[in-house]
Amino acid sequence: MATVYRVKVIRKRAERHERKRMQNYKVQAERLSAFEELLNEIYTVCRPKPRDYEVRRDLISAFNEIAKDIYGCSGNVPVVEEFGSFVMDLFHSKSDLDLSVNFDNCSVQFSHEKRIQTLRKFARKLYALQRYGHVSGVHPITAAKVPVLKVVDCGTKVECDISVENRDGVSKSKIIHMICSLDERFQKLSFLMKAWAKAQNINSSKDKTLNSLSVILLVAFHLQTRNPPILPPFSAILEDGSDPDSVAKSLKKFVNYGKGNKESVAELLVTLLIKLLSVEKLWAKGLCASTYEASWLSKTWDSKVCCIS
């Protein structure tokens, strides 16, 4: 009962703070229209070009060839699979390419040490390529919670972050991409908010600010809590399963879900920033934005920046 009470109290406080802040910010319609034009122009200019897709697909193929060179005689050649912003189609020409080395035998438990061993095998191969000038900046980060191997392709200047058995990242990326298809405003606003967060230097999990997925989930939460809502609760989307195939089937039930909401991307961007500003002091009190429930919740957590689930 105490938990339920705490959730209700903090939810009401968050909603009250947002209403009050919204009353203080009135944006004229003509200014919103001009802002919408500007955002559309920025979006068009910053979107990746066909060549950006092509070079990333070529890099994925190249890393799979490297995997064959390393494991060719073992009978268990892994697949190097893309995830992150490229799969979600929320990347730009300067974005890193996230890659996961996935083995066929899913029953094998990959320990932290085994992940590091796998990355070291790739690192040895990449160090050899670095000596010939094909790649640069080969840097295994083995002390991290999720070990990563960083490398830059010299031909395209694309930085690649390689991890091992990051199937959760692959799955989440595919699901976000599918949810973006429900309403183009989700894709546009996520892309623009990522660019804004990057410009404000608050888009780096390494620096304990928001990672890209957190930014995207905040956008999703905002669209879920509009009146009328633009996106359904993720609990409804994941009702029949959390794997990409189940989600693809589930999303058919939500086609045109948000068509009753006529807000522009400009309106949604402004109201999202107001929402975040209005609850700024509540994060430290346990406020959590739940995309699963499409509602504010209360949670105990360490960071005082933001909590998203």
C-beta separation of 293 from 235 below 8 A: yes
Residue 298's CB is within 10 A of a number of other CB atoms, namely: 21
d(CA 145, CA 132): 31
In the CATH scheme, what is the code of domain 2-46+182-298?
A: 1.10.1410
What residue spans define the domains of the chain?
A: 2-46+182-298, 50-166
Task: State both tokens at 166.
Answer: 């990051």
214, amino acid identity: S
State the architecture of 50-166 in CATH terms: 2-Layer Sandwich (3.30)
Residue with tokens 């929320």: 90
Task: State both tokens at 93.
Answer: 């020409």
* Reported confidence tier of residue 73, pLDDT bands at 50, 70, 90: confident
Task: State both tokens at 124.
Answer: 């040895």
d(CA 207, CA 59): 28
User: In residues, how long is the chain?
Assistant: 309
- The pLDDT mean for the chain works out to 92
For the stretch 258-305, pLDDT in tens is 999 999 999 999 999 999 999 999 988 889 999 999 999 988 665 555
Q: Does position 197 have pLDDT exceeding 60, yes or no?
A: yes
Task: State both tokens at 77.
Answer: 């050649």
Lowest mean pLDDT among 30-34, 58-62, 113-117: 30-34
Cα angle, residue 154 at apex, residues 149 and 157 outer, rounded to 5°: 80
Q: What pLDDT is stored for residue 1 in this prediction?
A: 45
